[in-house]
Structure 1
């Protein structure tokens, strides 16, 4: 079938699919693979019954027989955020608004936007750029001027990520000399290497200032001589709100009262989930403080924060931490390599576990079945012990005995040959007893590892890197 696919007004592609899938999920996966799309999206088609106006595609029979025009519409993700501010003298709240939608994000924008410097610096840069454009003269920068520029850049970068990567420093340094070519370094091919190294030192000094000012997120990573110094863990690259400060006007005792109200709400027969979500958002700084600084066991966290161990709030907490939709990002990433993984599994016929899993596949297998087989096959493919992560048990088995020694994993509960439940295990305890299926269980397990600040078991090092 010949398809005309509209990605954007300036990006319209022609795709030919010989064997059209029978269900919409498979069709979405085919389109995503062929066009290299990421994230969650909706396909709309031109419906001849309504004068070729666009309608959402919900059934393959709705498509015209030979040729069709489709439009890809990216889904808008809901963002979760807290009311907390950094509360330091060095970083104003306005700098946080430079991030997209007023929210911090671990990813610096590409290309990085160089904001205006102080008036006197901007005046000198304007004159310097004019001279460079006229005859290539480079600006003679004073020590104070260079410090002012670096201070402003460090503050702008911190608004996105307190711990920028090497690539982030490269991008910012390049953006600086592209906007102000008079700042290029003499004798350098690209003209920005020294700016990069100076910015790295300035960023470290800037974090030190924030530690002195009382910023929690950088204080937790300070090198101290205390007994717990080696246990402190830096935020993952994708975490936006690793350790936020308490909201303005609220102390720890105020948030503790809200936490107690949350516990009471969760004991009710009819839970007000809307109010629960609001209280979970407002108590987020207290919860992160407990989890990061006290490092409680999962059972203790569940006792104090029962709402956190619901599917809805696991997704919400992941979004609060990363500003990313958990299931959408997990499944889109998995689907991107689904076909390739199945091809690799098929080629490894010598591995008994993979051969057994692949025998469950047929031409009518759904995307969800393929996801399950890929995830269950990963330990076999990586030559790790599958029982450390996945266990199949009977409904009559003692779960406490089965979970013993299982730090993280998924239980598949059967009644005879029939699948009746899927459960998530953390620290030898069933945390989520009833999950839809294995792919959803793994997604929620990843969300819990982030929410509870748990490192993936070292003995599963290869599987950890893959997931």
Structure 2
């Protein structure tokens, strides 16, 4: 069902947000839709009017707090930021008479990853994934002057600009620098996004004889990024320095050699630099101190701070040394705790693992159930039995559990290989759970008969000689472990 929201973007600035598919299942998806429709490029959070507190604005943590015709407010994380958008229309006649106003230069998204307590957290960590609408940066004064003059000529006479080699090189240099804020190895699709955003903002840069108007820009950007990586490699940027000839020769002599090391699609912080003032030796000392802290109880915050601080050291160990899982677990036991799997996944991808998985599962649950019910035969009977509990309870946890079980059955697997249900006081069943490599347990209190479902890894990848359960479903915990271990 379609929905409409009123979005306050700033002082005396509000717009209507159209949602043809209804209100999204998560705040992250809603933010992406706001970014897409309004072209926002800054970091922001959302607030909504809470009727329980006289319609005062409260932080929006779940989309269940808003409904059709609700009002939400955009709060920019950087107080010095002003809402900016990627213009899609030509400037007005009044604007043609004056030179463009030049904003202060934008800086990479290199804020501290977690809390201010973690001052040792690496300042080079990226906090954003690749944007839906790539923000074209502000160019230098002379480049902006030439583009403004070309814009006037295009508006008056419809003449496209044939940029000089110097102007084109300056534009490409700035675009390459902006791309590197997100990734140094952009894919062909990423390059395509940048080229399209460029000619959308500056339509007079379209190329004659090109189907898309930007084929030449795409080719030039690919070569420019290769040259830019050479520059970064020469100054010691870890993400590209790892692929130097020296490192390649070392890997060729190693029994565990590999080809060019690049971030995978979702990896934002692939191989960050060490935090300011830290070295490999100092971070190794932090790791050894972390081994002591793990043995203490009620010590989660200290562990989190030290894990944030040693993130770059840990990533280099994963990428460069490629240790076996058993060896890596003995060196970093804190990483195999549930909170740290979530935290490490967020450090690498900037995406929260648990909420993203759950919101996506909720978003596609109806479509999944339609697909599941099309199955026939004995499988259909088992799926129907797995989904039967949905009609007996309105709790979202029950629905999630049933759908996960049904998907496992749909893939011709046994859900008991992943999900176990047991009585909390049954010692024998508890001992059986300890032998599982990875799973979801569901405890049931016998007196009140209240069910408590909780997804958690039971014993993750403890030995190389034993495989994880055969379920092919892409559960969030396996995704988290795979990303954290490279």
TM-score of the aligned structures, taking structure 2 as reference length: 0.67
Partner of 1:378: 407
Would you say 1:255 and 2:283 are equivalent positions? Answer: yes
> What is the CA-CA distance between 1:366 and the residue it aligns to?
1.7
Change in 2 beyond 3 A, CA 1:37/1:411: closer
Deviates more, 1:328-337 or 1:178-187: 178-187
Aligned to 2:340: 313
CA distance in 2, matches of 1:99, 1:175: 26
Do the aligned partners of 2:49 and 2:55 also contact (CA within 8 Å) in 1? no
Task: Supply the distance in 1 between the matched residues of 2:17 and 2:396 (Cα, whole angstroms).
Answer: 27
The aligned counterpart of 1:35 is 23
CA distance in 1, matches of 2:19, 2:133: 29
| Unaligned 5+ runs, structure 1 | 16-32, 58-62, 80-92, 431-437, 454-467
- The equivalent position to 2:258 in structure 1, one of 230, 244, 255, is 230
Q: Secondary structure at the match of 2:27?
A: coil
1:134 aligns with 2:156: yes
Check if 1:446 corresponds to 2:434.
no
The CA deviation at 1:244 is: 0.6
Contact 1:390 1:410 survives alignment (8 Å): yes
Which structure is richer in relative contact order (CA contacts within 8 A, separation 6 or more)?
Answer: 1
Matches within 5 A, 1:235-384: 235-271=263-299, 273-350=300-377, 351=379, 352-384=381-413
Q: Kindly state the Cα deviation for residue 43 of structure 1 after the two structures are TM-superposed.
A: 7.7
Q: Cα gap change, 1:424/1:229 in structure 2, threshold over 3 Å: closer, same or farther?
A: same
Q: 1:332 to 1:39 in 2, by over 3 A?
A: farther
Q: Which moved further from structure 2: 367-376 or 304-313?
A: 304-313
Where does residue 428 of structure 2 map in the other structure? 396
Deviation digits for residues 173-219 of structure 1, max 9, x if unmatched?
12222333332212335422211121122212322332333222223
Q: More displaced, 38-47 or 113-122? A: 38-47
Q: Check 1:388–1:281 CA distance in 2 against 1; reply closer, same or farther (3 A cut).
A: same
Q: 1:359/1:98 Cα in 2 relative to 1: closer, same or farther (>3 Å)?
A: closer
Question: Which deviates more, 379-388 or 68-77?
Answer: 68-77
Change (3 A) 1:4 1:190: closer
Q: Deviations over 1:408-443 (max 9, x none)?
A: x3164889999998643433559xxxxxxx9xx943
The residue aligned with 1:426 is 460
Which residue of 1 is the match for residue 233 of structure 2?
211
Change (3 A) 1:244 1:164: same
Larger mean CA deviation between 412-421 and 312-321 belongs to 412-421
100, 108, 112: which is aligned to 1:96?
108
Q: What displacement does 1:144 show?
A: 3.2
The match for 1:194 is 216
- Cα distance in structure 1, aligned partners of 2:141 and 2:402: 61
Rounded to whole Å, the distance in 1 between the matches of 2:126 and 2:481 is 21
Which of 111, 117, 128 does residue 139 from structure 2 map onto?
117
Gaps of 5+ in 2: 9-14, 31-46, 79-104, 114-122, 465-470
Structure 1 residues 229 and 215, CA gap change in structure 2 (3 angstroms): farther
Would the alpha carbon gap of residues 177 and 135 (structure 1) be closer, same or farther in structure 2, given more than 3 Å must change? same
Task: State whether residues 457 and 477 of structure 2, in contact with CA within 8 Å, keep that contact through their aligned partners in structure 1.
Answer: no
Native 8 Å contact 1:105 1:323 kept in 2: yes
Q: Determine helix, strand or coil for the equivalent of 1:8.
A: strand
Please tell me whether the aligned partners of residues 269 and 348 of structure 2 are also in contact (alpha carbons under 8 angstroms). yes
SS in structure 1 at match of 2:389:
coil
Distance 1:70 1:186, change over 3 A: closer
- Residue 299 of structure 1 aligns to a residue whose secondary structure is helix
Superposed displacement of residue 36, structure 1: 3.5
Do the aligned partners of residues 293 and 377 (structure 1) sit closer, same or farther apart at CA in structure 2, a change above 3 Å counting?
farther
Structure 1 residue 234: deviation in Å?
A: 2.8
Structure-2 residue corresponding to 1:25? none
The residue aligned with 2:82 is none
Which residue of structure 1 lines up, in the alignment, with residue 7 of structure 2?
A: 8
Query: In terms of mean alpha carbon deviation, does 252-261 or 287-296 score higher?
Result: 287-296
In structure 2, do the counterparts of structure 1 residues 219 and 354 end up closer, same or farther at CA, with 3 Å as the change threshold? farther
Larger CA deviation: 370-379 vs 346-355 = 346-355
Question: Which residue in the other structure is 1:24 paired with?
Answer: none
Shift of 1:156: 0.7
What is the distance in 2 between the residues matched to 1:143 and 1:325? 44
Q: Is the 8 A contact 1:326 1:447 kept in 2?
A: yes
Distance 1:410 1:164 in 2: 35
**1:316 offset after TM fit, Å?**
1.8
Going from structure 1 to structure 2, the CA distance change for 1:203 and 1:386 (only over 3 Å counts) comes to farther
